Structure 1
Amino acid sequence: MSDVIIERPVEQLTEVEASLNYLVPTGVKPSSYAYEPPPGVPRRTGEYRTHAVKIANARLRPPPAGLSLDRNGFELHRERSAVSDYSDEASIRSAYYAQSERLLIQWTGANRVVIFDHTLRDDSASRSGGVKEPVHLIHNDQTFVSGPRRVRDHLPADEAAQLLRGRFAIVNLWRPIGEPVESSPLALCDSRSIDARDAVAQDFIYPTMTGETYAFVHNAQHRWYYFPQMSPDEAILIKIYDSAGDGVARFTAHTAFDDPSSPPDARPRRSIELRTLLFF
């Protein structure tokens, strides 16, 4: 995969300091519901604590070697979206899925892409119709247990068994909607700065199944980055799982955060994320 970093000389701050929400390790496995839980059951368990961290402006101060999906766990690309009306579910699943599949093959070198779902997010109080709010807890969408399970969930058994013998990855494609991001931007952690012991598996409960995601405990060695003022013509690839070894980034951590440099009248952040299986 090629190293990709988009330069847009519109931001001056090389870094910001912000509070990120880390899991407090208690020895008890946390859980979270993907839907409204039964009466009396908390939507989420686990204790979280904020830690002030430096988040580097990846446009102005990327790592010396640049950023890449396979080295750092994320990278930025520029490509205009094939759709403008994200309230049209049919358009998302036809035009946007088709474009994203083509771009993921182009950007990653994958032989095949399977898009298995998407989520719309809106930071305003007026969101409705299944649109979710940005997640302000540090997380990764899969674990080493649930990653291979996703292949079995979305492909016929024989085909899945064959594909699992080769390299595959789970990658999210994240894009702003409508306007540049002025609030709740995405912070991404350099995969190389994450110790395996920082990741804590938590149950993610659906109506018909229970999956797993990673929460993260604080580690002062974590190196965080963000892309200020992302436009709808830009997209981030985020490594969620990779079956490869040999120094390839296998996952990373990410979270929305309150940017202290956001203007007082910042517009609510709107975004779409696709979750995809990549086969190499």
Structure 2
Amino acid sequence: MVSYDVTIRDARPIVDELSLDSEGFTLIQHKISCANESDPEVMRDRYLEEMVPFIKDYFKASWVVPKKDAVIIRSVGASSVPPAEKGAGLVRPYVASFAHIDYAPIAGPVMAAREDQLQGIPIRAYSRLMIIQAWHALSEPPQDFPLAFCDGNSVVDTDLVDTVYEKYDVKHKTWLVHYSPVHRWYYFPEMSSDEFALFKGYDSEDDHNPRSAHAAFDNRRAYPNAKPRRSVEARFFVYYD
């Protein structure tokens, strides 16, 4: 894998212009009550209890199904993370620092149907399906490895490389992203637990499915005293009748 230097701009001045259907990401003001929860399993359950109704209301969806095995608490550099928790994938002491999109279009409906099956939810007909991803910073700002987003308007199909991701003996197609000098990267500096980044991983309406990549990056050059990142992220299958 080849590394390139890229400019990552502050997205806060343009936050009112951002759209999930265009750029593919935005910033939401929303406080969660479980930000200081220390037990990872309790954190996961409480986070989903709060976020599922919020996502349903925000998108005016018919119903929402969380992807339970994709709730990830990242505690960067945490050597004390118990091996059992690392193995379960709930707590990870590392970040994904390569540009990627978690779901190629062919994978969206397949992974949604699989999640219904795992949770014992009857499969229903729908007119539209989105995969919405949320990212909350839990540590105090500034964080050492924040998340950056690429404006989906600056990504073209030839930038995307099909690859296969495997977890729990299940494979699905995802995309890696070739470097391009025309890509426009942004992040939200000094995020607090009272706000979170929302980005779109898939939309069955292709006209509203921007190819917005994301990646963590080392921000200690700008903030030498940045605090180790602790964050929680989740994915939601958002349905419309």
State how far apart, in whole Å, the 1-side matches of 2:80 and 2:174 are.
25
Amino acid in structure 1 at the alignment position of 2:97: H
Q: Give deviations 1:241-270, integer Å, cap 9, x for gaps.
A: 111133x13441000011254332321111
Amino acid in structure 2 at the alignment position of 1:78: Q
1:258 corresponds to which of 215, 218, 236: 218
1:59 corresponds to which of 4, 9, 12: 12
Q: Give deviations 1:1-42, integer Å, cap 9, x for gaps.
A: xxxxxxxxxxxxxxxxxxxxxxxxxxxxxxxxxxxxxxxxxx
State how far apart, in whole Å, the 1-side matches of 2:173 and 2:124 are.
21
1:93-242 alignment runs, 5 A limit? 93-117=44-68, 118-128=71-81, 129-130=85-86, 131-132=91-92, 133-156=94-117, 159-160=122-123, 162-163=125-126, 166-242=127-203
Instruction: Using the aligned pairs only, state the percent identity.
Output: 31
- For residue 132 of structure 2, give the secondary structure of its aligned residue in structure 1: strand
Amino acid in structure 2 at the alignment position of 1:104: I
State how far apart, in whole Å, the 2-side matches of 1:158 and 1:227 are.
36
Alpha-carbon shift at residue 162 of structure 1 (Å)? 1.7
State how far apart, in whole Å, the 2-side matches of 1:127 and 1:276 are.
29
State how far apart, in whole Å, the 2-side matches of 1:89 and 1:52 are.
35
TM-score, length of structure 2 as denominator length: 0.86
Count, aligned residues: 228
**Which consecutive unaligned segments of at least 5 residues does structure 1 have?**
1-47
Q: 1:75: which partner in 2?
A: 26
**Which consecutive unaligned segments of at least 5 residues does structure 2 have?**
none
Preserved CA contact (<8 Å) 1:193 1:223: yes
- For residue 174 of structure 2, give the secondary structure of its aligned residue in structure 1: strand
Amino acid in structure 2 at the alignment position of 1:50: S
Q: Give deviations 1:98-136, integer Å, cap 9, x for gaps.
A: 210122123222221111130111212425132211111
Preserved CA contact (<8 Å) 1:192 1:249: no
Root-mean-square deviation (CA, aligned residues, Å) is 2.1
Preserved CA contact (<8 Å) 1:184 1:258: yes
State how far apart, in whole Å, the 1-side matches of 2:67 and 2:61 are.
16
| More RCO (CA 8 Å, sep 6+) | 2
- For residue 262 of structure 1, give the secondary structure of its aligned residue in structure 2: coil
Alpha-carbon shift at residue 167 of structure 1 (Å)? 0.8
Alpha-carbon shift at residue 180 of structure 1 (Å)? 2.2
Alpha-carbon shift at residue 229 of structure 1 (Å)? 0.6
Alpha-carbon shift at residue 272 of structure 1 (Å)? 0.5
Preserved CA contact (<8 Å) 1:242 1:251: no
TM-score, length of structure 1 as denominator length: 0.75
State how far apart, in whole Å, the 2-side matches of 1:110 and 1:268 are.
35
Summarize the Cα distance change of 1:50–1:256 in structure 2 as closer, same or farther, 3 Å threshold.
same
Summarize the Cα distance change of 1:127–1:144 in structure 2 as closer, same or farther, 3 Å threshold.
farther
State how far apart, in whole Å, the 1-side matches of 2:41 and 2:168 are.
24
Amino acid in structure 1 at the alignment position of 2:67: F
Amino acid in structure 2 at the alignment position of 1:254: H
- For residue 21 of structure 2, give the secondary structure of its aligned residue in structure 1: helix
